[in-house]
A and B are shown apart, each in its own frame.
Chain A
């Protein structure tokens, strides 16, 4: 690894400044404000919040519905991942399952709520088709459906990825040793995955506990922590100190969860080698699992189907004649087009600047000997822990009087910090696999450190950079929890606009805007996947030929 040079110190200093100003300082202010009263600092805010029946109930509700979500999501995600990894289900069907399952990631969570309402509500699409309603969707049931759809993609990706690192040969070994089906299953599949399954559970719990979009749309009178926080901060009588307390209370389970995740890491072990086996013929197993997966995915798609249908009908569900009226209205409304433009610009800038920041952080961390480089790992742990709403609120508290208030800059910075962890880890993973001597070689051949990064390191991690960009873009397109406290009339984004349109019951506009987000994200995803694949194809070609040589 290269010796420390001044350029590295400068980059490090700038990053330190950024995270001090937009992560540590705001969070400190949040803590301080939670203890602040008219007569100094004490626990009275906490006491009054914790004696407030409504708030206590909402915390209880959050725990209840998030736990239920976590159980269901983990089981479902495991079932789907198992169907893909351990069966002989028809290959194209496996591919469809793997693709459809992650589609909800391309939509803001607030849209899920409206889709659920338009599907299962009294006049809903599915209700109409079946002929009667099932249950009251406003409240626990609606939240549960929404949260499961929301948390499933992330949990599925986690478990599916871990499946790839399980040595399947042990299934044969276990059978040869005379294990029964159950013992074999628990020893060769469940045991190696137990850490990941626990991780999926914790992740689903935290995501549901801190989400704002779903309860904002389909929560009804069933109050949860995030809607309480919103009310306290932006309701008729805003109370910043109580808001700070609720934010801290929201942060606690997330902190616990992250510790739990690190603890669960201990259960993971590495196989020396990963071998794939040919799966035994088992018609019952495959048919059963294929049916379960398909039914679930169809159910999920049917919920979102209304989003693609309703805006093209005159007045769903009463007048079902086809029309482009609503679509045209949105495009003719300067207001909505402007909001879409805002979202797009914010996301592009978040993706570009965020990728640069996460990439430079990872370079300093894995490819230099800079003192204090491990501090970046701590930063990434913190950003992984802090929910978007808490971060947004802490910005509101810190920057309320400053000129940053009501700017796009503060929204972009919030998104960059909020979603920092994943792109940072992507970059770290890719950079740590590269040859350690490249920088030294570059230097001996006359390059400066920055020049070697540009001429050698960057070209060899293009694929990762594209992936980081795509992650940042899509997430900043769909986030609502992170930005809800930071947007103003001038800096309104699609996700927050949807919240506003809800007041006026303009559901067609809501769906059209959601479709716009969806297709924009889909386009970016396709584009990034295509560019990445081109990279990988090039890489593969090299690999195959060298094996032959």
Chain B
């Protein structure tokens, strides 16, 4: 279980995060949802250990990791732009980290990840030859083979289009289920957050607006921000889709 206690952060006098308290159970998918500048990416970087917080504590499985450096926290992230190394091919990218932690993952396990993410036909391709969805899966594989205790995803769907988006969504859900992996996702898209995750944390101006399951957020929005910005978008979308298909499909 991951516990965040009273986390606050300022950048040059400007408050980015204020008193964030949160508990995430093992194996849960949690989305951090908010408009740009809300502080969600900063919170993700604080959990990762990339950004230092000003106040607060991070407790992971009963151990205080607040001052544990990024490398030793054993969390890992897939960045929005994947940050794949272009001079290496897909396979070399995936095994990049294995060289440093020998014996961490057996050859059999490695093949399992590759099969699971359906990357076998693409292993010898250069990064530039991969499509967006393939890149995403290579980046996921590269991160997963290091066996992170928590998987962090920064806007994992924003660079993908249409159908691929939906399939990656399912993939993320099955990873979390298959490996019982706590997954924290940053997104600005309400539809994505509410359909992908077990729980959603809505952040506005550095504060928690609401934390709950999708159902709770839809049925009991805790304030006007959630109503006006989060739910309204979904209602407009629903209306548009109704208009397209006709009421009979409602």
Question: Interface residues, chain A, CB within 8 Å of chain B?
Answer: 3, 435, 437-438, 440-447, 455-456, 459-460, 542-543, 545-546, 549
Contacts and interface: CB of A to CB of B under 8 A. Distances in A.
Contacts of B101: 446
Given A542-B126, A545-B128, A445 B97 contact: yes
B197 to A, nearest CB: 23
B64 to A, nearest CB: 20
Contacts of A456: 85, 87
Contact of B70 (A444, A447, A460, A543): A444
Contacts of A437: 79, 81, 83
A440 B130 CA distance: 22
B81 A446 contact: no
B71 A446 contact: yes
B186 interface: no
Interface string B164-196: 000000000000000000000000000000000
Contacts of B71: 443-444, 446
A544 to B, nearest CB: 9
A445 B96 contact: yes
Interface in B119-134: 126-131
B100 A445 contact: yes
Given A446-B97, A447-B100, A542-B129, A435 B87 contact: no
Nearest to B81: A435
Given A456-B85, A542-B128, A549-B130, A445 B146 contact: yes
A488 B110 CA distance: 63
Contact of A549 (B77, B97, B129): B129
Given A3-B50, A446-B101, A549 B76 contact: no
Given A443-B70, A444-B70, A444-B76, A546 B129 contact: yes
B211 to A, nearest CB: 27
A446 B71 CA distance: 7
B146 A444 contact: yes
10 contacts: A435-B81, A441-B83, A442-B96, A444-B71, A446-B71, A446-B97, A455-B96, A542-B127, A542-B129, A549-B129
8 nearest A-B pairs in the assembled complex, by CB-CB distance = A446-B100, A445-B97, A542-B128, A437-B83, A546-B128, A459-B87, A437-B79, A441-B83
A545 B129 contact: yes
A3 B49 CA distance: 10
A543 B70 CA distance: 33
A446 B129 contact: no
B50 A542 contact: no
A515 to B, nearest CB: 39
Nearest to A435: B83
B86 interface: yes
B40 interface: no
